[in-house]
Amino acid sequence: MGFYDKPFLKFERLLETYLAFAPSGLQSYLKSMPLWLKEKLWMGDLIKKKLHGYKGDIKYPEHHQSHAASAFFPSPFEEAAIITMDGVGEWATASWGTGRGNRIDLHSELQFPSSLGLLYTAFTYYVGFKVNNGEYKLMGLAPYGKPKYVQTILDNLIDLREDGSFLLDMSYFNYCQGLTMTSDKFHRLFGELPRKPESTITQRDMDLAASVQVVTEDIVLRTARYVRRETGLQNLCLAGGVALNCVANGKILKERIFDDVWIQPAAGDAGGSLGAALFVWHQILGNHRDADGVHDLQQGSYLGPDWSDNEIESWLTAGGYPYEKMTETDLIDTVSDGITAGRVIGWYGGRMEFGPRALGNRSIIGDARSESMQSIINLKIKYRESFRPFAPSVLLEDVEEFFDTDRASPYMLLVAPVRASHRKELSEEEEKLFGMEKLRIPRSDIPAITHVDYSSRLQTVSAKDNPRYHALISSFKKKTGYGIVINTSFNVRGEPIVCTPEDAYLCFMRTEMDILALGNCLLKKEEQPPLKSKDEQCSERQKSSEAKSKEELRKFGLIMTGAFAALSVLLYFRNTSLLPPAAGLSGFFLLSALLYPRLLLPVEKLWMKLASVMSYIMTRVLLTLVYLLAVIPTGLIMRLLGKKPLQLDFKGNMKTYWVTVDPEGPCSRPEKQY
């Protein structure tokens, strides 16, 4: 078994960061330390507990080693260069190396706190989107702006080298020692405080998004060219959160730096779990790996749970939800009619996708030809910002009909321009529009998936990988001549993609979707009973958990009985005047536990609240003392002695900031947590 990083090595980086910035950083320290001390440092024990006493070994590949394994081992290549980029793992924020056969080797890395992922996240925060969640919004916002701040970023924030390595000037950032991403100096540089979430997006926000996107693409391209020169390999594998920047991925392909590129569909930390497992299977256990140079081993990324038609029918029947059971042929014909008529479809069936993209098994589908479909789905279904673009699902055999590319893109990780034959000419007045005004102008005959720069983040659908979804788009093509539909993830803003039939039904009922296809069961919105109120749902959940709650209260009562009984014995020998109340309480808890446990509910709630408050206070007091008496003095002494814990010198005039990976370092010790 493998875990995707080394907890103790990551903890070392955390401590060294606090030493480097002490006395700043107390609030960040108090926020992070309880979780580390309670859970993250004991990951091996936690895994064994959650897996009900697992007795085998647990291996700990380094974080970027896991990313690299997730990129190369499922790829179609026998050998390839590998690049990983994200926020931060243990120390590494980016790495590059090679993969051959059943082995990967990392050669060099960039180290914290200089991080392309964290630079992008800093601008995500500054433009008012949620950290570690809104980066894709920033990428979607970029085409509305002009990259007018690129030179400002390059002159002030980053010392960039030709090989893609760089240092960040940490005086502009606050993520090492604070609870925000950017500092006051950053705000002064760009003239304002960070945009408040949900407030109006301005042209300046769009220009900032465009600027950091250009810088990101520049760094990615420099790195790709450098790695191609250093490795001499023709193919490239990508992973890490930055590899989800499909615009940058498209630039690598457009410039033909590598002959072919394969990107891990779950490129973020979720994919690290797959990488850790594959690293153990191939590199530690030595199992053979087959690569034919054409087909990857990700199985379309349909690796999640599945519900059969019988299970779906049983759930619908038990809930009393009206549905029509159809053959797959009839269902596809009916749903494609609905798409043609401008209906919004919930499309659910088969194994759930692994990764952040819905790929046709947990998708919301609409007509890409509709000028209003983008705003309808954004505002009435997804409840999200109107500027957010949608991706097309296009038949693999028709991709060249609609886009200037001949490449398959099964995982929605590449951007391609809409072909000129499908574009619409803009008038002089329309060409002069800027910002969100661009949104109302249809730019092609498939406007719902054509972004303002004529690009699309496309998914190609093959009959081999997803025959059911392919058949649906083919049916739509027979009726309209267009083998292309809108595909967006089956969820609303702020919620995960639906997993179970119940998830799908609730999302269907809480939005303005028209039709839901659950497996081969068709549900129409107008036929469904009103969704139960939150009070009714809470009442049902309360009833279902009542038996469990009763058992827990009984256990609480017996524990308190024992505690007061022990106290009574002590009082018998020391203070008999307090003996009756203690004995009485012991009797009360015993009788309540045996006869009516729910009587103990307010007592248990009060007890748990007091225990939580006391634990919180004691934890903060103890951690504050440790910070004041140990962390601050140690950090100050280290700096006085010239032993700086982090590489914080900006513009060090080094030829490269890539650091060679120690062949006897953490990457060579997958059996250890450090």
> 617-671 pLDDT, tens per residue?
888 999 999 999 999 999 898 888 877 767 667 776 788 999 999 999 988 899 8
* CATH at 503: 3.90.870.20
**For the chain, what is the domain count?**
2
Output the six-digit token pair for 540: 């049902």
Strands (E) in 586-674, as ranges, are: 659-660
Neighbours of 459 (CB within 10 A): 26
**Does 444 map to a domain?**
yes
Residue 509 and residue 362 in one domain: yes
Output the six-digit token pair for 256: 């033909």
What span, in angstroms and rounded, lies between the C-alpha atoms of 648 and 129? 27
Yes or no: say if 172 and 181 are a contact pair by the CB < 8 Å rule. Answer: no
**Does 623 map to a domain?**
no
This prediction's pTM: 0.89
Residue 509 and residue 404 in one domain: yes
Residue 468 and residue 504 in one domain: yes
pLDDT of the residue at 572: 72
Most confident of the ranges 33-42, 113-122, 378-387, 661-670: 113-122
**Does 450 map to a domain?**
yes
CA atoms within 13 A on the CB side of 359: 29
> DSSP label at 260?
E
Q: How far apart are the first and last CA of the chain?
A: 17
Question: pLDDT at residue 126 above 90?
Answer: yes
Long-range CB pairs of 284-292, under 8 A, 24+ apart, other chains included: 284/59, 284/670, 286/102, 287/102, 288/102, 289/73, 289/101, 289/102, 291/75, 291/76, 291/77, 291/78, 292/76
* Domain housing 587: 556-595
Q: 451-501: per-residue pLDDT in tens?
A: 888 999 999 999 999 999 999 999 999 999 999 999 999 998 888 999 999
Neighbours of 422 (CB within 10 A): 18
**Does 604 map to a domain?**
no
List Cα–Cα distances, 614 to 29, 31, 606, in angstroms.
19, 16, 12
Residue 582 and residue 481 in one domain: no
Residue 463 and residue 560 in one domain: no
In a 10 Å sphere around its CB, with 0-12 CB exposed, 13-18 middle and 19+ buried, how is residue 529 labelled? exposed
Asked which of 500, 532, 564 is the last residue of a domain, the reply is 532
Residue 488 and residue 419 in one domain: yes
| 269-278 vs 63-72: helix crossing angle, rounded to 10 | 80
Using DSSP, state whether 79 is helix, strand or coil: strand
- Per-residue pLDDT, averaged over 124-129, amounts to 96
Question: Model confidence at 610, in pLDDT bands (50, 70, 90)?
Answer: confident
**Does 442 map to a domain?**
yes
Strand-strand pairing, 79-85 and 235-239: parallel
Asked which of 532, 547, 567 is the last residue of a domain, the reply is 532
Reduced DSSP (H G I as helix, E B as strand, rest coil) percent helix, strand, coil of the chain, to 5: 50, 15, 35
Yes or no: say if 235 and 260 are a contact pair by the CB < 8 Å rule. Answer: yes
Element (H, E) at 545: none
Question: For residue 195, how far is the Cα from the chain centroid?
Answer: 23
List Cα–Cα distances, 490 to 285, 379, 423, 619, in angstroms.
38, 14, 28, 41
In degrees and rounded to multiples of 5, residue 214 shows phi and psi of -65, -45
What span, in angstroms and rounded, lies between the C-alpha atoms of 386 and 374? 8
What span, in angstroms and rounded, lies between the C-alpha atoms of 515 and 342? 11
pLDDT of the residue at 49: 87
Where residue 19 falls (left for φ over 0; alpha for ψ -120 to 50; beta otherwise) is alpha
In degrees and rounded to multiples of 5, residue 578 shows phi and psi of -95, 0
Output the six-digit token pair for 153: 């970023």
Element (H, E) at 489: strand 484-489
Residue 318 and residue 369 in one domain: yes
Question: pLDDT at residue 72 above 60?
Answer: yes
pLDDT of the residue at 527: 93
Neighbours of 112 (CB within 10 A): 23
